[in-house]
Structure formats: structure tokens, C-alpha cells
Amino acid sequence: MDAPRRMGRQKRPRVPESARKRAAQACVPCRYHKEKCGGGQPCARCRQYNRACRFETAALQRSGRETNDNATGSGSNPKAQDREAVMMRIIKHFIGDVATDTASLQSIADALEKRSPDHDVQIISATTEPEPENFSLEPLSSSAMHYYGELSHWNFSQTLLRRLRSLGSGTGQNHGIDKVRGVHRATDLQSPTSVVSSAMVYFPPRDIGEFLTETFLQFAQTNYFYFDERTLRQKMDYYYSNEHALAIHDAGWICTLLMTFAIGTQFAYMQMKPTQMSLHLSQEIPDDRAGLELYRFSCRLIPDLITVASVETVQAFLLLGSYTVPIDTSGLAYTYYGLATKMAIQNGMHRDSSHLSLDPDTLEWRNRLWWSAYSLESRISILHGRPVSVSRLEVDAKFPTDQALPLPTGRASNLENVNANIFLTGQLSKVSQTIMHLRGCPRFQQKSHLQELMVIRSNLSKWWSTLPAEVHCRDLTPTGPLFRCNVHLELSYDTMIIYMGRPFIFAPKPSLSLGSDASSESPINTLSTDCLNAAIRIIDLCQLLHDSVGIARVSYTEFSSCRAALLALIAHSLNHQADRVLNSLSQGMILIRQMCVGVESARSDVAAIEALELARQRLQRQEDRKQEGNHNVDSGYSQFQRWAQLWQPDSLTSHLMPTPAPGSLADLPENLTPPSFDGFFASLPQELDSFATITGSDQLFLDDSWLGEIRSSIMSEEGSIPFGPGL
């Protein structure tokens, strides 16, 4: 009985706290780095290395000591000790020489559980970093940081640096470690200060600047965050005082202010009364010279915005994209949103930064700005057929909250709408991936992808019904403080439903549906019907905007949703003619013509929709004439009488059928004209002669290739309409 007792570790006498030469409990970072901890909160080493100093709870430490005492005490089982010793040998063989107390083993076990299931091996050594430190964020200034991922060269060099510091801490020498340089800034690439200092010439008078800022916040911001209003107004006070020389680090806020004013000029007319606005939209709006000049000067600051790469540059690129999104959605706006996302990633805004030593307002604003950039870039990319630049799996930033950044008195918070919009963006990405898998999969796999779409549809419907119906999200009272925000949110929701059901409008149902092909409850019928209902709902919402606060001519959300609804209605009308479809189609054409006034890119899109609608009407008239001819067929006796008259002596020469000219179908009787789509599309350019006067129609390419695209759109046999990007 004495031998096993001697095998255990001898229990050391407890040393009083006053006699201890080191801290009673080391913090977690010092334990991981094998460094001496001096105690305190934070300890000296964590302050020196700018680490998040934290301690394990006392209960967990006591649990670890009790476990070790029980395992090595005098009353332990020898077989249990042997089993534990063998297990410790196995652990040290695979993951190295690690601490064997309960707290350390628990942290290692947690790390193993969090690793990706497709990783076969994960090496954990004595230098393993805690979970929040698997990336590096190097502060460069008060508003700029440099992000390095877990597998980057910089992150590994910092691991080596910490290891060298820990090895040299016992000797009291740093061996030149302090001479290691930090992140290099390419200041030589920055423009002269004169470029930024000339910006004050473009600032409007203070009262006009206040008017344009208020216009932006009221009509342009809706369900995204672009800047903190309190900070923006402080910056306006700072720059309008004209007592400070502008430097290159002011480029971010200068561009943010100028583009806020520029976007305000786009929506300034909406400050008029509804009656005046209708008269204003019915006329040709002159080119917005003031906003264009503000934009052109802001473009001169782009090289410096990229070089500085701060949080303010993310704001500036978001506003540049928002100004150009109604003008060049898939070009300039797509590029600006991509730059905003890249600047945000460079600052590490896509990662959880709660462990950094930042004040709550700064942390909250980083999260808000990231999710706005991510949502805008992802939505534009998906709706225009582009790959999303950042995978959702790479993002762990916290969602916006209302714990910081209070709004000025009297302004309602759009936080609920912003979070709902973020959720819709994530679901839109899922729908896009599922549809792409459905298009390219074998026939036997189509059932599972259709079921996946139905699950997304069901979850969306349940989620939408749980959103708040008062003030936020689903309140459509025109006098409400968030009326346009709520309408825009539902427009985004309905556009997603159209995007989900549009590929199945022309789908051959027997080849894709589940179970009974003729059942009205099949997934294809359900998704197609939802698409039709969502299109009609969008037209109703746009009409509601028009009748209340006015419809915007530069709103991408309003124009793109109305455009998608009209295309879906045209497609559905080819399957069956229904009064509510045709009525919504006529109503939507009137609305979208008002939205394109003064916007050249929108004119071109509307001209294409007009051509498709005209082609549909031409086809319908041809079908109506054919049906009318079938209904007017005479009885058999009447036909016999006319045939018998041919045998009269004076009838054999007087009733001869005229011989048509070769190749002429116009001279044939209607009931003898063959129903040919080629004949219809060959006459389409002549049918569009009256349409040629519509503004923007000169941008259409009415040649054989363009007619072929319309023909393939209407006669598609692949189960979807090949709409162009963004339709």
C-alpha cells in the first residue's frame, strides 16, 4: 500500500499570499505564452503587448485542483492512475507538451470541437493562440487598422516575435526584438495636400448643406447605415469653421460630406409637395450639374482614399456607389461597393472585434458599416449575375445593436429594418446557390434542390410574419416615420420571391415537379404563383409610394423591383391572360416611365421593357384574330351552298381565287395565313416605328440577334427566361 502512495506527487505546503514572489494566478495569455505574469487587471505583459488580459474563474481553478488532487492522492486507484498516465502520454504525443490541469485541457477540447469537420488534423502546441487571437489587427491610427488572417506571413511572424520575447524574458535581454518594425504605410503614394485643401471651394453654403444632409437621411439612407449622424454633424462644424488647414488624413471625411451633398441633390425634388412633384416628374429634368461637380471632385480623392484605407474611406466608397447606382449599377456602383468591402476587410471589420481595446461606439459603428457594405455588394452582385466577393463563412462580425450610437432627438431608428435587410441578403444568397445547383444537376437530383427551395420559401414566410408590424418593418402607414424604409424592405422581400420563382414560369412541369405533376400544390406551381403574386404586390407598393410621399426617380430599390415585376408579369401573361395581370402590367408601365425621367441608363432599360411588351401585345392580337376566325366558321350547309354556286354557268369565272404574289402573305385571307413566329418577329421592326420616338430607344439594337433574344425569351424550352443581368 506504500508504493502507490509514493508514486503520487507530494502535496506542497501552501505559501501565504504576502510571501509569494509571483501572482497567485496567471492570466490566460501569459499561460499560453509561457510567460511570467505579474498579476493585476490587466497585467504588465498584456499591457505591453496590447493583449486582452483575462483570468479563468476561481470555481474552474478549484475544480482543476480538486481533480488533480483526487487523481494523485493517497486514496486513488492504482489502475486509474496507470490509465491516466497512458492517456497523458497519448495526448502529449499528438499535441505536444501541454499543461494537464483541467482548465488547460478544457480549452484544448473546446478548440478541437470548434474546428471544421473537413480538417483531418489540427496541431495544438504549447504556443497555440486563444481563439480570439487567430488573426492580427495592427492599429495604424485612431480610425485605421491592418488585418492579417490566421495563415498570413505577418501573423506567423508575430507568433515568432512573441515566442522570442518569452524565451528572452528569463535573461532580461530583448536581443534586438524591439527593433522589429511594424506595418509600413505607403505615404509616398499620397497626393499633395493641395488636392484636399481645394475641397472647401465645393462646399455649398451651410444652410444648403444642412438641407441636402437632411434630404439624404430622410430619403436616401432607408435600410442601410452610411455614417454616424452625430459624428457627421460634428465634422460639418469642424470643416465649415474654415480655421483648420486640410491634410491628407481629411480625405475620407471630405469625400463623405461631398457625396452626402451630391446624393442629396438627387432626392432634393422630393421635398416638394406631391402635386408639385407630379408636375416636376412629368417634365424633362435638366442634368444635375451641382451633384455631378461634387462627384467629379470626389473622384480626384480616390487614390488617397485607397492609400489611407481607414473606416472613413469605407463610408466614402459606399456613398460613391450609392450616387452611381441609379446611373451605372453593374459598372461603377458595383466597383465602388467592391472597394468599400475591400477597405472594410483591410481594417478587419468583417471579424469579431469585441476583444480589442475599443470604445463601444467605435465597435458598434464598425459592425454597422461592415454589414451595410456587405449587404449592398452582395445584393448587387447576385442580382447582376456576379460572384459575391466575400463568403458568409469568412464573416463573424456581430450584427448591429442598439446598445450604442444614440440617434438625435426626434429621429426614428431604422435598426430593425437594417437587420431584416441583412437577413434577406443572406437568404438571397442561399436561393441563388440553390437555383444554380438545380440548373446544373442531373434529373434525379432535382427533387432535393426543389425541396430545399420550398424550405427556404417556408422559412421566409414564417420570418416575415414575425417582424414588427408597428412603426418598423411592416407598418405601411404613409404618415409613419419609417414609411419609405418599410416599403423598401417589402420591395426587397418581394423581389427575392420573384427571383426564386422566375425560373419556373416556363418550366416544363412534368419533368421537374414532385409527385403528381398536375397538382396545383407542386413546388413549381407554388413558386411560380408566388412569383406572380409578388410582382403584383410590387406594383401596388410602387403605386402607394406614388400616391403618398412620391416615387423616386433615382432609387435603385424602387426601379429594380418595378423592373423585375414587369418582366415577370410579361412572362406570366404569355402563359395565360388574366385581368389582374394585364391591369398591373399597364399600371407598372406608367410608373416605371416616371422613374426613368432624367436617368439615361433607366431609359434604356425601360425601352427594352417597352419592346417586350409591344411584342407580347402583337402576339396576342395575332392569337385573337386566329380565335375569332375559328369562331366565325360557317355551318356545313352554308359552305355547301357556296360550293354549289360555283357550278352555276356564270359563276365558274367570276369567283376565281386571286393568285397572291410569290412570297406575299399579306394578300392571303386571314384564315389561310399560317401561324408562324418567324413571320411575327420579321415584322417587329415595322411595328416599332411608332416606338422609335421614345427616349432611349436609339440604344436598342433591333437586328436579327436582338430579335433572336426576344424569340428565345418567349419560346424558351429550358424552363426559365434568360433575363439579362439585373433583370
Residue-wise pLDDT tens digits, 124-157: 333 344 444 567 666 666 677 767 676 766 667 7
- Residue 703 and residue 681: Cα distance in Å, rounded? 11
Q: How many residues does the chain have?
A: 727
> Which among 278, 267, 264, 332 is positioned nearest to 302, based on CA atoms?
332
Q: Give the residues across from 147 on adjacent strands.
A: 137
Q: How confident is the model at residue 512 (pLDDT cuts 50, 70, 90)?
A: very low
> Which among 120, 116, 154 is positioned nearest to 138, based on CA atoms?
154
Predicted local confidence at residue 376, as pLDDT:
95
Q: Give the residues across from 139 on adjacent strands.
A: 145
> Which among 400, 384, 300, 296 is positioned nearest to 337, based on CA atoms?
384
Lowest mean pLDDT among 56-70, 187-201, 440-454, 637-651: 56-70
Predicted local confidence at residue 30, as pLDDT:
80
Residue 33 DSSP symbol: T
Q: Domain map of the chain by residue range? A: 22-49, 192-275+285-404, 526-627
Residue range 348-367: mean pLDDT, rounded:
86
> Which among 498, 603, 601, 604 is positioned nearest to 541, based on CA atoms?
498
Over 80: is that where the pLDDT of 283 sits?
no
For the chain, percent of residues with pLDDT exceeding 70 = 63
The 10 Å Cβ neighbour count of residue 627 is 10
Over 60: is that where the pLDDT of 689 sits?
no
- Residues with Cβ within 8 Å of 389's Cβ and at least 6 positions away in sequence, in order, are 338, 341, 342, 377, 381
- Residue 411 and residue 82: Cα distance in Å, rounded? 69
Grid cell of 537 as nine digits: 404586390
| Predicted TM-score of the model (pTM) | 0.67
Residue range 392-416: mean pLDDT, rounded:
83
Helix, strand, or coil (residue 137): strand
Q: How confident is the model at residue 90 (pLDDT cuts 50, 70, 90)?
A: confident
Grid cell of 176 as nine digits: 534586438
Specify whether the CB–CB gap between 144 and 311 falls below 8 A.
yes
